[in-house]
Structure 1
Amino acid sequence: MTGHVLLIRLAAPLQSWGTVSRFSRRDTHSRPTKSGVIGLCAAALGHDRADELGELTATRFGVRADHPGTPVRDYHIVGAGRYPIRPRDIITDHRRAAALAAGMADSEGTTFGHHELADWYGAPKYIVTEPDSGALVSKQLSRGALVTERWYLADAAFVAALQHPDRAFLETVAAALESPKRLLWLGRKSCPPSGTLAGPLNSGTVEDVFKSTALLPSQSVGARPSPRPWAWIETTPGAPAASPVQDQPVSFDADRRAHTTRWETRTRITIAENAIEWDVIP
């Protein structure tokens, strides 16, 4: 399939493209995912999470690793110490809810233990006033630190490509990336992009455009791009050397979030001697 290709520059001090993430450990893929890039474009266009993704899901996706970056781990601590009681804490102390829900009654005599939200409601005990600040605190809400891991790619720079037969559609996406309607980040909210995102819009295929577009400039001292960078390009099921990837977005709606399988090939890209340089605002 030929058509038109929009290049997207994905560079920042930190980026993180999670594939399997839980509270205690948030990983990152070695490269941007299609789900993450489509989500970036949807945010730029101003879509809500519940909106249909439309033509964004129909794009053919590719990513070229000009600077693969260095994996770094953030030793993250959450929740240690004691905190002032907020008004909502009086009725939403989740740590004690299960023990207190059964048998608790409100001023009207209704038993919270029979309420459908019984597992979520309760009131903290041992509320005291701190002598220095006068704030109300609960000894019950004091807890030890929860240690978690957050993985990132440091000083990485990728070129993502979206191929679509409708040039006007890609022009709309490109304009949105430079004047986004919502905040943009590279995988996580703590990873805002740096510089220009939307690159050249060319006719052809992802493979052709990757070969005819020069490598991104170095983002940090000592970061030297490979003269033949790796690229991962979407292909049809059953194609030679194709591998399945579970990152084709169906919906970002919290109630029906889903991804399906797509196929991609891994290949070396040889940059043409007359490759086109594209303006990048650092």
Structure 2
Amino acid sequence: MTIAPETHVLLIRLAGPLQSWGVSSRFAHRDTHARPTKSGVIGLCAAALGLDREQPLGELATVLFGVRADRPGTPLRDYHTVGGGTYPLRPRDLVTDHRRAAALETETDGVTRTGTPAGPAAPEPSPFGRHALEAWYGAPKKIAADPVSGALVSGEVRRHAMITERWYLADAAFLVGLQHPDRALLERVAHALEYPKRLLWLGRKSCPPSGELALGIEPGTLTEAFERTALLPADGIEPASARDNRLWAWIESPHPLPGVGPVHDQPVRFDANGPVHSLRWETRHRVTIAPHAREWDIIR
């Protein structure tokens, strides 16, 4: 008879004003999953450990992932515009693209270099750095060699405002569990989350976490740890689920079993050109918190 190795669960608190766990986000439309994704949480832990994008995830990718929705939060849509407005010129902009210099000369033709008005109605010259070219890009786009001079210039100089739609979860709080037989691995991750080597965020850079993240290591499985752990505290917020003490949880399965669904969310690597994922298996069920579950005394 084979005895299964003892397992441990690192509990992680993910809470903040905003969270956003994209699944199929593109530039113009950036969605959010209804809960943290394994890819997002493993990326958070990798950043805390100081791993580079090119480094293999190693044992970090082998943990079993679970998430309990203590406060699912409220979906929030952000009406966002990018790429509009004017751009103040800098000296290097004139050096790197002669077309900007030509456009600036055209706009400032009414003022001499000495500042003497060319006519009675001409404005006073403004200091360099306050000139702006309407609808011109500030950052180079589509760099290519100029056919006349051979210099590298921007192939797209006009600025076109773009409307984007970005979704967030507001005032959400999730209890995440990472299950693994190697307690030392979980201890390293827990320490890194409290003393991270890189900046951490809840899915997107505009969503920093609040309060403590690592809440300790529990023996047993994800389901057992979730059942023994009280609802995360909230300032003045009592979710409906707190009344019946039953919460939804999503638990990863190491194997495809009946009633377990596939999720394309297993992180393989986080390349700069785009992350790579594979399939994992997950099931959803209700977790009933034990009557004498451990209460929290944490920084919120």
Answer whether TM exceeds 0.5 for this pair: yes
Contact 2:11 2:216 in 1 (8 A): yes
User: Which residue is equivalent to 1:207?
Assistant: 223
Which of 51, 66, 69 aligns to 2:70? It is 66
User: Which residue is equivalent to 2:50?
Assistant: 46
CA distance in 2, matches of 1:87, 1:242: 60
Deviation at 1:231, TM superposition (A): 0.4
CA distance in 1, matches of 2:60, 2:96: 40
Deviation at 1:219, TM superposition (A): 4.4
- Residues 246 and 87 of structure 1: CA distance in aligned 2, closer, same or farther (over 3 Å): farther
- Whether 1:158 and 2:166 are equivalent positions in the alignment is no
Contact 1:126 1:140 in 2 (8 A): no
Matched letter for residue 279 of structure 1: D
CA distance in 2, matches of 1:186, 1:88: 36
The C-alpha deviation readout for 1:175-219, integer Å capped at 9, x for no partner, is 111111111110011111011100121111001101011110124
- Whether 1:250 and 2:250 are equivalent positions in the alignment is no
Deviation at 1:28, TM superposition (A): 0.4
- Residues 89 and 246 of structure 1: CA distance in aligned 2, closer, same or farther (over 3 Å): farther
**Greater Rg over alpha carbons, structure:** 2
User: Which residue is equivalent to 1:138?
Assistant: 133
Deviation at 1:145, TM superposition (A): 2.5
- Whether 1:269 and 2:273 are equivalent positions in the alignment is no
CA distance in 1, matches of 2:269, 2:82: 30
CA distance in 2, matches of 1:202, 1:272: 15
Deviation at 1:222, TM superposition (A): 5.0
Within a 5 Å distance, the mapping from 1:1-282 to structure 2 comes to 2-87=6-91, 89-90=93-94, 123-124=99-100, 126-127=103-104, 128-129=107-108, 131-132=125-126, 134=128, 135-139=130-134, 141=136, 143-221=159-237, 223-226=239-242, 227-255=245-273, 257-282=275-300
Given the two structures, how large is their TM-score scaled by the length of structure 1? 0.83
Deviation at 1:162, TM superposition (A): 0.3
User: Which residue is equivalent to 2:111?
Assistant: none
Deviation at 1:144, TM superposition (A): 4.4
- Number of matched pairs: 254
Q: Note the aligned Cα RMSD (angstroms).
A: 2.2
Percent sequence identity is 61
Deviation at 1:223, TM superposition (A): 4.1
Matched letter for residue 292 of structure 2: N
Matched letter for residue 79 of structure 2: Y
- Residues 255 and 146 of structure 1: CA distance in aligned 2, closer, same or farther (over 3 Å): closer
- Residues 5 and 140 of structure 1: CA distance in aligned 2, closer, same or farther (over 3 Å): closer
CA distance in 2, matches of 1:80, 1:140: 7
Given the two structures, how large is their TM-score scaled by the length of structure 2? 0.78
Matched letter for residue 231 of structure 1: A
Deviates more, 1:56-65 or 1:217-226: 217-226
Matched letter for residue 206 of structure 2: S
CA distance in 1, matches of 2:94, 2:39: 39
- Residues 8 and 126 of structure 1: CA distance in aligned 2, closer, same or farther (over 3 Å): same
Contiguous gaps of at least 5 residues in structure 1: 94-121
CA distance in 1, matches of 2:275, 2:91: 32
Contact 1:57 1:249 in 2 (8 A): yes
CA distance in 2, matches of 1:222, 1:206: 24
